[in-house]
Structures are given as C-alpha cells and as structure tokens.
Structure 1
Amino acid sequence: MNQYHSWQSWIQQMMNQLQQQQKTIDQLQKKIKDLQSVEQPPKTVIEKIEYHFDQLKIETLEGTLQIGLTPNGSELSDISDLYSKQQNTPNTQLPKTDDQALHFLQEYMTSDIPGWMNQYVRDHDIQVSENHKERMIADIRKQLPQRMEYYRGQKPEAPPEEIFHQIQTEIQHSIAQYFETFEGDGDE
C-alpha cells in the first residue's frame, strides 16, 4: 500500500506540474498575440544624403563643419535662434556695399563671435580650448570672401545687408553644428 501511495502521489505531482506548464504556455501565447496585434510605428528611412563642400568648412581642425540645411531638413536658423542676441551688425549702420559687408563680417568675427562661442560652450558644457576657438575663427575669417562671392552668385540682386545677415546666420549655425559633434579637447 505504501508503494501504491507513492506512485499515486508522484502521478499527482506530475499532473500538477503539467497543469502549471500548460498555464504558462497559455499565458505566453496570449502575450505573443497581444504583441503581434500592436501596430508597429512606421520606420524612418533616410535615403542618400549629398553634401556639397563648396561651402564654409574648417580646414585645419579634425571633424566636419556642416553648412546649409541640416540632414533632417530643418531651417538654418533653428540653432541660432537660441543665440541670436549677436545678430546685430558690429556698427549700428547696415552695409551698403559688398566690401563694406565683408568688413562688417570681419569685425563681427572679432567682436561678437568669441563671446557667442564662449556662451554656447558654457551652455552646452563643452570643453574647448581658447587656442582651438581662435583657430576656428581664423579659418572662418579666411573663407568669408568666398562666402560673399557664393551668395552674390546665388542672389545677384540681393542687397549687401541681406547677404551679411545670411553669412552671420550661417557662421553661428555652422559653429553650433561643429560643437554638437565635438567631443571636447581639454587643455592644449
């Protein structure tokens, strides 16, 4: 009788385990059905992006400075809107000629951009040495005449102050984009 009882309890135990496993299987199948019934959000597909390097770039530093529309298609002024305090010309008057606009841009690079860069790196907690910032400014200053020619070729009838403001916005946007991918350089 003892042996019969042990077989019976063993069978009972196996039946309980089988029932427990069946419940687990049923729960898992229900979860699978629930997950399959949930609609998947549409996936974003980014196709070929072409960059034209006839625009402003920093030549002596590592990394890439992107000018123009961002890859996601946002407007040039998105980033610079946050830092548009220095959008004013260095003088209170607007440039009347392309030469005057170029001169104002050179002054802008000397008087406004260093402060703007310092504010930007402070706000975004980016470590950039003064030497690095000075080299960036020098590189951009060298490219200002070509940028004036580029915009004059794009819009021959545009007034000089419009081109001046476009290049100001482009400079801030480009520096901000460069800093977004910059990993910091500590002390040089």
Structure 2
Amino acid sequence: MNYYQSWNEWVKQVMKHIQDQQQTIEQLTQKIEQLQTQEHPKTVIEKIEYHFDQLKIETLEGTLQIGLTPNGMDTGNIEDLYTPQSSAPKHDQALDELMNGVVPQDIDNYAAEHGIPLANQHREQIIADINKQLPERFNFYRNQHPDLDSVSIVEKLQQEVRHSVTQYFTHKGGEQE
C-alpha cells in the first residue's frame, strides 16, 4: 500500500510542497510589508457640543455650583476663569455686606416673588455656594478693572448674583431638595 511508486517520486512531491509553502510565505510577507507602509486614515474629533438641558438627571449629588460668569459670558477655556485659590481674597466691607445681607435677601425675594417653596437647608446651601465664589470673583474684577472702586465691583457682583439666582431657579423649576 505504498502511495508513492518510488523514493524519488516521494522526495519530488515533498520538495514541491515545500516550494509551494515558501511561495505562500513570501506572498504573505509582501502583504504584511504593504500594510505596514500604507497610511491608515486617522479619526479626528474636531468639536463636541454638550447640551446639558437635554439630559435627564435622576440623581444629583455633590456640590452646588451656581455659575457666576459676567453676563453669561461664554468662555473658551476654563483656565480663563481660574484664579489661584492660594492667594488670600482681598475684599472689603462692601463685599461682606453683599455676602451677608444682599445675597440672602435676593434669594428670599426671588423665591417669594415667584412662589417658589425653598427649604431652609436648600436656601443655606445656595447662599454658601454663592458666598464661596464671591471673593474670587471680586479679585477677578479687581484684576481686570483696576480703575473700579470696591463699590462698583460689588454692584457688578450683585448683578451676577441676581442673574445666576434667576437662571438657577428657572432651570431648577422650583423643586425642593
């Protein structure tokens, strides 16, 4: 039951088989080299726009940040608004009056005018969050407009606070926490 008639014929078939395999290896090597030298298309993501007003939020945890940007200013980079926190805030009595009297009064007035029920804990949280941001905003205005006096800066901050409180309650819809 010898499939090969002679040893010579068997050796020829084995050699032929080895040559075929060698050709296949050479072809595959060439294909690999071609694929490695080709430029692959690169994915470029130019701009991503987030529309937070279209998100449904079921649970919200963390610190409340009411944005205090001047007149809803659109900033290109977050770094544009960054002021180092290591520097001690420099403010005066007018800012203290804004923080301790005007901010709570503005929040209470807005809630009362629009019939928004406001739990005391929620009210205090809003006031604390705004007051935490005010010294940095005061320094921001002082650095951007050195010609303004403290009273003018505080007036600008009061406008920002009123705008931010309005936006906060408009987007919040009067829900209680």
TM-score of the superposition, structure 1-length normalised?
Answer: 0.46
Normalising by structure 2, we get a TM-score of 0.49
Greater gyration radius: 2
